[in-house]
Amino acid sequence: METLQRTANRGSVSTGYDIDNSTKFEADNTERMYRAWGAGGGNDQTWTVSLWVKRTELGTLQHIWGAGVSGNDVLLVSFQTDNTLKFRSTKDASNDCVYVTNRVFRDTSAWYHIVVAVDTTSGTAGNRLRIYINGVEETSFSTETDFAQNDNTLHNANSSYMEIATAIGEADRFCGYIAEVISISGSQLAPTTFGETDSGTGIWIPKQYTGSFPQNSVFLEFKDSSSLGTDTSGNDQTFTLQNISAADQATDTPTNNFCTWLSDGTLFNVGTDNETFNEGGTRYKTRAGTGWTAVYPTQSFAGGKWYMEVKVNENSATNMYGAMPVKRINSLQYQEYHHGQDVDGSIGIYANNGQIYYGTAGSGGSGSALSAGDIVGLAIDMENYKMYFAVNNTYVESGNPAGGSNGRDIEPEPYVFSTCHYTTTTVEDTNFGGYTAMSNTHTNTDENGYGSFVYAPPSGFLACCTKNLAENGG
């Protein structure tokens, strides 16, 4: 039976310890980091790797990290096509270690903490590999083949490589965000070395690692955008980057989880119309069918004031940008619709005429056609139940979100941002503040210092992230 990790970390707990940055990895761009250990190596029998991951694409083979010297000699940790987690260590045909979880990991709204702790010298076969997710040891496996005692693994091995977001000789790469990678040579450590359970919520949260970094150990914080592979352990184990630039640094982390588009297939059309996303869950990529359908994000709002941006790809009557009530989503799960003409309470701006439509009446307004490259700002006021739309920072219909005037009325219900499309050709970059693939300069934050936007959010309006949600009634 499928188990969703609904207790996974969503970054909404104030921990006193913050992870400030992550790196966005995208398989379509063949992005990865790697380094060779060289002749010095480290302890290849006893070691621990801890890292935080946030998935944004499901249902494909994705290697999270790996080690090895060739495609035949490889150690890897991977999400499988059925969204289970697999560990495999192969040095030769007679000494394979393979574990595959029964549990699946499909929550694209959450961060997972994965700890792999190895000690092949242990006299107990089942203790030579230990896997922990969010502080809990995995004990249920569909496949369970142990290391031979005193086996030498490929991690930390002389002349071996460590790779992030893929594995040696493997083409299948991770899609999503990775934060705080710690590899410790010579110790099989418990997850409590890197995280703890918040006493108020029961959620597994990060804590500062206070141990040492023996030879070959690594600490990747991703805090220097000009050198995202920099090792801050003091061992100078800096990683080489492939197709990764400063633009791939993100502020979406386990201690401040940003909104992305929901890509687990539960809240939008399925089957022939299934939408897909890439670029860290911020780019609407493609769909299989034709007909109106909408997509939804991982966070909703019951209070507060919120802001996001959409970059127009084409001036088309097949694209709308707006918001809709949460209560409408489940009843419309398998239906095709669009903002302003099919769903009570939904509201959106048409790309082809710049007019705002609301509810089943489909009432339009004044406006001018949008152009490719325009930045549409969406500002939703859940305190006064108003919605505002800006085009390149000019609010249509004389809207003044900071002053609370000339906004469109919406229902007094929880809402989500949403975009909708008709054709299969739409490609759309969006920005909730944590990461965006937009080429535009985006250095404006909200008044709390969160987010990274092309235009400054109106006064009082905030980026869609859990630190803001926790403090502002989202």
Q: What percent of the chain has pLDDT over 90?
A: 64
Domain boundary among 250, 285, 312: 250
Indicate the range of 195-199, 337-341, 389-393 predicted with least confidence. Answer: 337-341
Residues 203 and 283 grouped into a single domain: no
- Read off the CATH number of the domain in which 191 is found: 2.60.120.200
Predicted local confidence at residue 171, as pLDDT: 82
Q: How far apart are CA 110 and CA 257, in angstroms?
A: 8
- Read off the CATH number of the domain in which 449 is found: 2.60.120.920
Q: Is residue 318 part of a domain?
A: yes
Q: How far apart are CA 349 and CA 153, in angstroms?
A: 56
Residues 182 and 41 grouped into a single domain: yes
Q: How far apart are CA 136 and CA 203, in angstroms?
A: 11
Residues 208 and 71 grouped into a single domain: yes
Residue 89: in which H helix or E strand, if any?
A: strand 84-90
The whole-model pTM stands at 0.93
User: pLDDT class for 9, splitting at 50, 70, 90?
Assistant: low
Q: How far apart are CA 96 and CA 86, in angstroms?
A: 13
Residues 244 and 313 grouped into a single domain: no
- Say if residue 270's pLDDT is above 70: no
Pick from 322, 319, 323: which is nearest to 353 by CA?
Answer: 319
Pick from 164, 174, 176: which is nearest to 254 by CA?
Answer: 176
Q: How far apart are CA 66 and CA 374, in angstroms?
A: 41
Residues 305 and 430 grouped into a single domain: yes
Q: Is residue 260 part of a domain?
A: no
Other CB atoms within 10 Å distance of the CB of residue 314: 17
Q: Which of 200-204, 302-306, 340-344 has the highest mean pLDDT?
A: 302-306
- What is the CA angle 433-436-437, rounded to 5? 170
Sign of CA dihedral 413, 317, 440, 231: positive
Mean pLDDT of 435-441: 94
User: pLDDT class for 436, splitting at 50, 70, 90?
Assistant: very high
Indicate the range of 12-16, 256-260, 465-469 predicted with least confidence. Answer: 12-16
User: pLDDT class for 334, splitting at 50, 70, 90?
Assistant: very low
Pick from 451, 21, 107, 27: which is nearest to 279 by CA?
Answer: 27
Indicate the range of 242-246, 355-359, 433-437 predicted with least confidence. Answer: 355-359
Q: Is residue 259 part of a domain?
A: no
Residues 142 and 215 grouped into a single domain: yes
Residues 283 and 232 grouped into a single domain: no
Residue 429: in which H helix or E strand, if any?
A: strand 428-431
Other CB atoms within 10 Å distance of the CB of residue 272: 10
Q: Which domain holds residue 33?
A: 22-250
Mean pLDDT of 256-281: 70
Residues 232 and 374 grouped into a single domain: no
Residues 154 and 35 grouped into a single domain: yes
Q: Is residue 6 part of a domain?
A: no
Q: Is residue 1 part of a domain?
A: no
- Residue that has been written with the tokens 């992550």 in this structure: 22
Residues 275 and 246 grouped into a single domain: no
- Say if residue 272's pLDDT is above 50: no
Q: Is residue 361 part of a domain?
A: yes
For all residues of the chain together, what is the average pLDDT?
A: 87
- Say if residue 265's pLDDT is above 80: no
- Say if residue 126's pLDDT is above 90: yes
Cα 213 → chain centroid = 28
Mean pLDDT of 411-425: 83
Predicted local confidence at residue 419, as pLDDT: 86
Q: Is residue 9 part of a domain?
A: no
The distance between the two most distant Cα atoms of the chain, rounded to a whole number of Å, is 75
User: pLDDT class for 254, splitting at 50, 70, 90?
Assistant: very high
Q: In 41-197, where do the E strands start and end? A: 46-55, 62-68, 74-79, 84-90, 97-104, 112-119, 129-133, 136-137, 141-145, 161-164, 176-185, 195-197
User: pLDDT class for 56, splitting at 50, 70, 90?
Assistant: very high
Predicted local confidence at residue 5, as pLDDT: 43
Q: Is residue 187 part of a domain?
A: yes
Q: What percent of the chain has pLDDT over 70?
A: 85
80: β partners = none
Mean pLDDT of 283-298: 75
For the stretch 198-243, pLDDT in tens is 888 889 999 999 999 998 899 999 999 999 999 999 999 999 999 9
Number of structural domains found in the chain: 2
